[in-house]
Amino acid sequence: MSYPDPRYFSDKGEVSAVFRPADTPPDHSTPTQDYHYLATTVVTQGEFGLYKVDMGPRAGGPTTHFHKGISESFYVLDGELELYDGDRWRTGGPGDFLYVPVGGLHAFRNASDAPTSMLMLFAPGAPREEYFENVAEMARRGGDEFGRFLVEHDSFFVDQGYR
């Protein structure tokens, strides 16, 4: 493997970094989860999307699914996170990491009585914010509308969807 071809052609760098203080409030909250949009696909110009997700005790998550256009990675920051790697459930703790390539089956949930926190990385970047903000309502509505929503957001479930 080699380095990617250059995409920046000036002989001088530019001031373009984006800083996000640790005390920035969540960008989206549900009764059981807080989402921090650390680096959206807009900010990274489609390179990746990075999100911090804080899950309350016994917070459910998506059931087994896969993506056709994006990989997804999970890095546990705090607590315990149940991660399905397509073969079996694993209990991840601080520092544990799961990479799911495009097409890889996966799921996650907080099955513990304590909160947990993780980083989720999508590559290339995708507009996951709309997904996070609307998936619960769309799941509640169900039917064809929910099915279209999932396909629009590159989420293909092999079972019921959310629990």
Whole-angstrom distance, CA of residue 61 vs CA of residue 137 = 14
Tokens, residue 154: 């590159």
Residue 128 is predicted with a pLDDT of: 94
Domains and CATH numbers, the chain: 28-157 (2.60.120.10)
Query: How confident is the model over 45-71, as pLDDT tens digits?
Result: 999 999 999 999 999 999 999 999 999
Is pLDDT of 161 > 90?
Answer: no
Residue 8 is predicted with a pLDDT of: 93
Q: What amino acid occupies position 20?
A: R
Residue 163 is predicted with a pLDDT of: 44
Q: What is the pTM of this model?
A: 0.92
CB-based burial label for 22 (10 Å; 0-12, 13-18, 19+): exposed
Query: How confident is the model over 20-33, as pLDDT tens digits?
Result: 999 999 999 999 99
The alpha carbon torsion through 94, 99, 105, 106 (nearest 10 deg) reads 20
Residue 160 is predicted with a pLDDT of: 55
Query: How confident is the model over 104-159, as pLDDT tens digits?
Result: 999 999 999 999 999 999 999 999 999 999 999 999 999 999 999 999 999 999 97
Q: What share of the chain is helix, strand, coil (3-state, %, to 5)?
A: 15, 35, 50
